[in-house]
């Protein structure tokens, strides 16, 4: 079996030294995204580690990427843990950076990172037993295929998505892909009937109008990052030069889309996980899903619609505590 690493990026938005450095790069005309939800902490990181130890004990190594600060409870001597400072892998010309796109687009440079790795944001958790085959099968990443429309709105990631798709259409001919054997992957029912129907409708266009993405952990081949950097290094360099996220950026979805267009991924059952955007209409369902481990993978996504942050943060912690009450070996 191929070794599979997990990678997670984290920032302590309350660290005064980090805040001081970040603010020193802000200006009255700052065009980047510096909104509070990009950095505030839900204080539930320990449950990410507990979920891995309990539900994915087979993981090869965990690369924990940080600006330099660490949670006070973290056991730095845990044998599977590799603490990675931005300075350890991001080229110096991009540092310091407060742009998640820069941090993500350079992950392949982490020393010792395996060819097969799963990338997590700090709001993505494992809440039920998973196997290596849930993420990779016969060396191929598992993912969901599907055409989609790009959603543009204030504070959305639509602009990054659009920039990614521009590059995809530059390097891939959609009609050729859909005339090849790879077409079967795009229309596999494992992607879900909604995805298949939408793909059939959008297949009328000769180019990629957009590609479906779900806000869950993504399975990557390190070689995909290396290939895209070789082909589009100038474009990615422009993104990484921005200290904060800006509308002209690409992001790591480009690598995900690239793998799909190459046919490198295998279709995966959509029921493996769910992303909950924290809004009132789904909040109780989200808490229940955490407590019961209904899904293998779950995302607790902070949004501008979060009404009472401190109250909701404690409720999420309480739900995780019911599922994962015991400390892991990653905690002191």
Is residue 202 assigned to a domain? yes
Is 328 domain-assigned?
no
Residue 84 in tokens: 């990675």
With 60 as the cut, is the pLDDT of residue 32 above it? no
Secondary-structure percent of the chain, ordered helix, strand, coil, rounded to 5: 40, 15, 40
Percent of the chain having pLDDT more than 70? 93
Dist. CA 92–CA 195, nearest whole Å: 41
Residue 49 confidence (pLDDT) above 60? yes
What is the rounded CA–CA span in Å between residue 60 and residue 279? 35
Average pLDDT, the chain: 92
139 within some domain: yes
Instruction: At 207, list the tokens.
Output: 């180019």
Report which secondary-structure segment, H or E, holds 9. strand 4-10
Boundaries of domain holding 89: 4-323
In this structure, is residue 330 part of a structural domain? no
77 inside domain: yes
pLDDT at res. 157: 77
Taking residues 2-10, what's their average pLDDT? 96
Confidence bin at 292 (pLDDT 50/70/90)? very high
User: What SS3 state is found at 192?
Assistant: coil
241 within some domain: yes
332 has pLDDT over 60? yes
Radius of gyration (C-alpha) of the chain in whole angstroms:
19
Both tokens assigned to 119: 């990338």
Q: Please check whether residue 141 lies inside any domain of the structure.
A: yes
- Whether 332 is covered by a domain: the verdict is no
Structural domains of the chain, count? 1
How buried is residue 70: exposed, middle or buried, by Cβ count under 10 Å (0-12/13-18/19+)? Answer: middle
- Max mean pLDDT among 30-39, 269-278, 312-321 falls in 312-321
> What does the pLDDT look like over 298-318, one tens digit per residue?
999 876 666 777 888 889 999
Q: What is the CATH number of the domain that holds 47?
A: 3.90.550
φ/ψ of 16, rounded to 5, equals -60, -35
Give the pLDDT of residue 269.
83
């Amino acid at each position: 079996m191929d070794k599979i690493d997990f990678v997670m990026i984290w920032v302590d938005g309350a660290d005064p030294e980090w805040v001081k450095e970040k603010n020193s790069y802000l200006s009255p005309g700052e065009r980047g995204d510096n909104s509070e939800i990009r950095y505030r902490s839900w204080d539930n990181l320990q449950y990410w580690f507990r979920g891995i130890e309990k539900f994915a004990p087979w993981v090869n190594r965990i690369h924990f990427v940080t600006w330099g600060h660490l949670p006070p409870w973290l056991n730095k001597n845990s044998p599977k843990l590799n603490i990675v400072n931005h300075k350890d892998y991001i080229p110096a010309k991009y540092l310091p950076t407060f742009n998640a796109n820069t941090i993500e687009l350079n992950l392949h440079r982490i020393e010792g990172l395996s060819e097969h790795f799963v990338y997590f944001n700090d709001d993505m958790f494992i809440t039920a037993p998973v196997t290596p085959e849930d993420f990779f099968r016969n060396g191929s990443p598992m993912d969901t295929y599907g055409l989609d429309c790009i959603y543009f709105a204030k504070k959305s990631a639509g602009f990054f998505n659009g920039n990614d798709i521009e590059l995809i259409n530059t390097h891939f001919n959609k009609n050729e892909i859909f005339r090849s054997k790879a077409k079967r992957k795009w229309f596999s029912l494992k992607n879900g009937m909604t995805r298949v129907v939408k793909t059939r409708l959008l297949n009328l266009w000769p180019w990629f109008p957009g590609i479906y993405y779900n806000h869950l952990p993504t399975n990557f081949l390190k070689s995909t990052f290396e290939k895209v950097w070789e082909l589009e290094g100038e474009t990615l360099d422009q993104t990484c030069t921005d200290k904060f996220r800006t509308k002209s950026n690409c992001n790591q979805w480009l690598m995900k889309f690239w793998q799909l267009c190459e046919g490198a991924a295998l279709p995966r059952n959509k029921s493996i996980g769910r992303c909950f955007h924290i809004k009132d209409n789904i909040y109780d369902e989200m808490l229940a899903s955490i407590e019961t481990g209904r899904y293998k993978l779950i995302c607790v996504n902070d949004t501008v619609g979060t009404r009472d942050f401190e109250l909701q943060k404690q409720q999420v912690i309480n739900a995780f505590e019911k599922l994962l009450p015991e400390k892991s070996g990653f905690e002191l």
